[in-house]
Amino acid sequence: MNRKAAMSLTFVLAMSTVMLSGCAGSTPAGSAGTEPETVVDVTETPSGDPAGIETEETVQARDDEPAGTDGQAETEAADGSAEAEETGSETMTEDDPLQTAFPLSDGITIPELKMNDLNVPSGTAFEYVRDMGVGFNLGNTFDAYNDDSLGDEMSTETYWQHDRTTQEMIHYLHEYGFDSIRIPVSWHNHVNGDYVISKAWLDRVNEVVDWAIAEDMHVIINIHHDNHLVDECLYPDREHLDQSLKYVTAIWSQLSDRFREYDDSLIFESMNEPRLVGHDNEWWIDPDNADCVEAIGCINELNQAFVDVVRQSGGNNETRYLMVPGYDASIDGATHKDFVMPTDPADPSDDRSNGHVLISIHGYTPYQFALEYPGTDHFDPASADSTRDLDSYMNKLYTTFVKNGVPVVIGEYGSRDKNGNLQDRVSFTAYYVRMARGRGMACLLWDNNAWTGDGELFGVFNRKDPEKSNFDVLAAIMTYKD
């Protein structure tokens, strides 16, 4: 089937309904003492793909690639509750069925989710995040880093996955419904001793940024895999803070200069998952551990330095939207009592709802399903055992940030393929996107273009042949993007 046919194909889905209560174990204030009721309608799909597309077809085996997700391993079994007011819910009947414009595999269904949207503050920042919608991570590409066996720095683009990014790929991503793209970039292996970025590397990143902006997408660039104790990059402890500030300032000074006049479609993100690499608490933050507390303080300073250098560069950078993470970019790091959002010279009133600094969160939740291996390969949106951690996670983000006027961008989420558990991944993705969007948050899928082997298989968009993408997961995303 060609692209246009795949996009235009619409299935009318028969429905069966399963009722369950909403976010388990929490009672939001201001909602008559009950959690918003959640209804999951598990649909039946017409058998077969009339076009013969097998959406689980993959590119050739890539046993030599890391196929990772940056090692994200945060678990967010938080106990936050959401203050909810019903602002409207869907009503689906057999005369008004759930529909998808994507072909689904045999037996795969998109769950119908009826949830109350929660109140989202008004403000330009929240409008901006709403427009960011659902997004895609160009993972394992510009964030890859080389070893001594690579003679050409430009070959790192295909070192962790084998497909060079093309303008056609970016066009497909937008045509398939993605509103935003995050382009993770590592810089430490593309700078000289004075931290001057290679012109060839910066030009190449700039080229892909331009392709995405030409598609009217929101674009995020960042400092990605530059958090370590080698190459004099960044490391968030006091011993290395001066060095870290020097590195962050140098990189963002150059990026700010290069993209000064770009409009608000382009977003800068200070760092990716800043953490104590190699520490016992690298991925599992202990709120009382002295090293973790020290790291959080250093991250605060690094985020502030980032904001300051961008704002001082002038042009549209004076008010550009910026994203900042806490420790690990995890919910525990961002909600730690010592984490503070940076002061923004562009917004002296510190009114985040109308401001220009957004909190960046990553959430592979529930961890046992989304990332841990073997963990569990099962996710049932009608079971509190499956949804409990995700409900708690989303509600804590809402009560801590959104409700208090701080916009949230979930910069990474996703679930790895575990022995072909496609229906579970589809159900998880639909539930995740619906929860995030109903709480006023943008969310960007992590995709590392990994399809086969025994690594972290997060491939959804097939870069080699977009018409062989995982349309089932794409359908789950796009069904609940609005």
Mean pLDDT by 10 residues, the chain (482 residues): 34 26 28 36 34 26 37 37 38 41 93 93 97 98 82 91 97 98 97 96 98 98 94 95 98 98 98 96 94 98 98 97 98 97 89 95 98 96 96 97 97 97 98 98 98 94 96 97 94
| Residue among 335, 339, 445 at smallest CA distance from 392 | 335
Q: What is the pLDDT of residue 454?
A: 87
CA distance 364 to 369: 8
Q: What is the pLDDT of residue 53?
A: 24
Give CA separation, 125 vs 293, 349, 350, 393, in Å: 29, 14, 12, 22
CA distance 429 to 470: 12
CA distance 446 to 136: 6
pTM of the full structure: 0.83
HSE of 318, CA atoms in CB hemisphere, 13 A: 4
| Residue among 459, 463, 409, 464 at smallest CA distance from 437 | 409
Q: What is the pLDDT of residue 149?
A: 67
Q: What is the pLDDT of residue 351?
A: 86
CA distance 291 to 295: 6
Q: What backbone phi and psi angles, to 5 degrees, belong to 356?
A: -135, 20
Burial class (CB in 10 A: 0-12, 13-18, 19+), 379: buried
CA distance 98 to 42: 10
CA distance 332 to 286: 9
Q: What is the pLDDT of residue 349?
A: 80
Buried b (16+ CB within 10 A) or exposed e, 31-49: beeebbebbbbbbebeeeb
Helix (H, G, I), strand (E, B) or coil at 184: coil
Question: Residue 154: how many CB atoms within 10 A of its CB?
Answer: 14
Helix (H, G, I), strand (E, B) or coil at 263: coil
Report which DSSP code applies to 35: P
Catalytic residue numbers read 224, 273, 412
The answer to whether the beta carbons of residues 172 and 254 sit under 8 Å apart is: no
Alpha helices of 277-330 — where are they, by DSSP H?
290-312
| Residue among 269, 270, 278, 293 at smallest CA distance from 230 | 278
Extract the tokens encoding 410: 């979930």
